[in-house]
Amino acid sequence: MDPLPHLPQTTATALDRRGRSARQIADHLGQAQVSITQDVYMGRRIHNPSAAEALDQEFANLDLW
């Protein structure tokens, strides 16, 4: 699976969780319209906490850098 198509969503989610504003996230993603960022990349919250927890555990020790 190619992870790159999911990178903007992942980036927006991480920045949102760290308290960045929608404007800051849109600027980082290179988007002129904050509404696009909010609707496409920030519009979803955790709907399945057990799935989110499983993913957190799975990737907790992933060294990407």
DSSP string computed for 7-54: HHHHHHHHHHHTT--HHHHHHHHT-S-HHHIIIIISS---S-HHHHHH
- Give 6-65 pLDDT, tens digit per residue: 788 889 988 988 889 999 999 999 999 999 888 888 766 656 778 878 888 888 877 766
Please state, for a pLDDT cut of 90, what percent of the chain lies above it: 25
Q: Is the pTM of this model over 0.75?
A: no
Domain boundaries, given as residue ranges, for the chain: 4-59
Radius of gyration, CA atoms only, the chain: 13
- Residue 47's pLDDT is 65
Contacts (Cβ under 8 Å, ≥6 apart) of 28 = 11, 15, 20
Q: Please, what is the average pLDDT of the chain? A: 82
